[in-house]
Amino acid sequence: MASLTTSVAQRRRAGRRPTIHDVAEAAGVSKSAVSLAIRNQRGVSEATREHILQVAQELGYRSNVWARSLVQGRTGLIGILLQDLGNSYHRDVTAGVEDAAVANDLRLVIGHGRRDAKRLQGELDSLLALGVEGVVIVSSWVPPQYLERIGRRVPLVVVGRLPHRVPGVDTVANRDEEGAKQAVEHLIGLGHTRIAHLTGSARPAAMHRRGAFSEVMRRTFPDVDPQVEGPEQLEAAIKYLVFQIQQEKGAPTAVFTQNDRVAADLVGACLDAGLNLPEQLSIVGYDNSSVCQMLRPQLTTVDQPRARMGELALEMLRERIAGRTDDKHITIAPKLVVRDSTAAPRG
């Protein structure tokens, strides 16, 4: 018991943050006047406002966010839940959200799942516990039923593809089918006919890319069965592809990969095997991440307007917070970026 009272005493001692009372006392006005002054509201004269602000400055007063949000019933906090900060796609979306948040006087709190579904959910809980007014989720790993439950309590916008629509949850995504189509048609335009697809995921976005790949291939080359490798045993699939090419027996001359990460692995494996890129194999990635320009050859890829998607997500979240109740789903056109990893097939 003694220790408890001591700790309170400690708190009250010297180092204590100055409160609105301290400022009021020092300035010789009421706490209400101080409150008005620091919030720049009318109700105090210009002269007293300046006086109060100066006193506040001298005391190093900084208003207590919790007390404020406690009485106002809002926190001005927005959460963003990320699957993987290491991925520049996620990072750029975040930057977009952040810029839009700052512009709207909202503070962004980052929750980071670190590629772990369990941790991701824990982080979402944390964000909610912090009292965020809405959450932008940049991940397709949160289970839909969980999403739906949370969505009933707090506005939610998902950036990316979900397995299916979830009532009460908005989404903004790029049209993966369109991006995949551009990639494959680029390869076809270069003269490739034996084109393979390499994927490392069975998540919705990946499946849409894969689906569009198959469709374009079937439509263009009706009598060829398009080769799709992965997502399981991706490493083995890459090895097998390289082996095929070395044998030259009707091997693919081009590969469209699910994303840049897979593309980078493929590039590495090809170079390790002594293949010449892009002469012996054309490669197209997806995401236009920062590695594209580090690799040699520089990677042809599909770019999504990531920052824009982030901005849109925050915009939709604000609408939700303001009271919109009908669901909204926005899709954005991706765009092929041609670099050095694609060329016409040999011969």
User: What is the total count of residues that contact DNA (CB under 7 A)?
Assistant: 36
Amino acid at 250: G
Q: Which residues make Cβ contacts (< 8 Å) with residue 53, sequence separation at least 6?
A: 37, 38
Of 44 and 154, which CB lies nearer to a copy of itself in the complex structure? 154
Q: Of a copy of itself, DNA, none, which one does residue 29 interact with (CB within 5 to 8 Å by kind)?
A: DNA
For the CB of residue 31, give the shortest distance to DNA in the complex, in Å: 5
Of 88 and 199, which CB lies nearer to a copy of itself in the complex structure? 88
Of 86 and 167, which CB lies nearer to a copy of itself in the complex structure? 86
Interatomic CA distance for residues 161 and 167, integer angstroms: 14
Residue 271 CB neighbour total at 10 angstroms: 15
> Can you tell me which of 20, 77, 212, 292 binds DNA, judged by CB under 7 A?
20
Binding mask 57-76 for DNA (x = CB under 7 A): ----x-xx--xx-xxxx---
> How is residue 47 written in tokens?
């002269």
Of 39 and 149, which CB lies nearer to DNA in the complex structure? 39
> Can you tell me which of 25, 26, 30, 115 binds DNA, judged by CB under 7 A?
30
Of 6 and 329, which CB lies nearer to a copy of itself in the complex structure? 6
Of 110 and 128, which CB lies nearer to DNA in the complex structure? 128
Q: Which residues in this chain contact a copy of itself in the complex, by CB under 8 A?
A: 11, 60, 62-67, 69-70, 73, 75, 85-86, 88, 91, 94-95, 98, 107, 109-110, 112, 114, 126, 128-131, 153, 264, 267-268, 271-272, 290-291, 293-296
Nearest to 59 by CA among 31, 25, 18, 12: 18
Looking at residue 16, the DSSP 8-state letter turns out to be: P
| Residue 106: strand, helix, or coil | coil
> Can you tell me which of 21, 114, 218, 296 binds DNA, judged by CB under 7 A?
21
Q: H helices within the chain, ranges in order? A: 2-12, 20-27, 31-38, 46-59, 65-72, 88-103, 117-130, 144-153, 176-190, 204-220, 234-247, 260-272, 306-322
For the CB of residue 50, give the shortest distance to a copy of itself in the complex, in Å: 22
Contact assessment for residue 138 and residue 205, using Cβ atoms and an 8 Å cutoff: no
Of 109 and 316, which CB lies nearer to a copy of itself in the complex structure? 109
Residue 43 CB neighbour total at 10 angstroms: 11
Contact assessment for residue 150 and residue 320, using Cβ atoms and an 8 Å cutoff: no
CB pairs under 8 A, 24+ apart, for 36-39? 38/63
> Can you tell me which of 5, 145, 247, 325 binds DNA, judged by CB under 7 A?
5
Residue ranges in contact with DNA by CB under 7 A: 1, 4-5, 8, 12, 16-17, 19-21, 29-33, 35-36, 38-39, 42-49, 61, 63-64, 67-68, 70-73
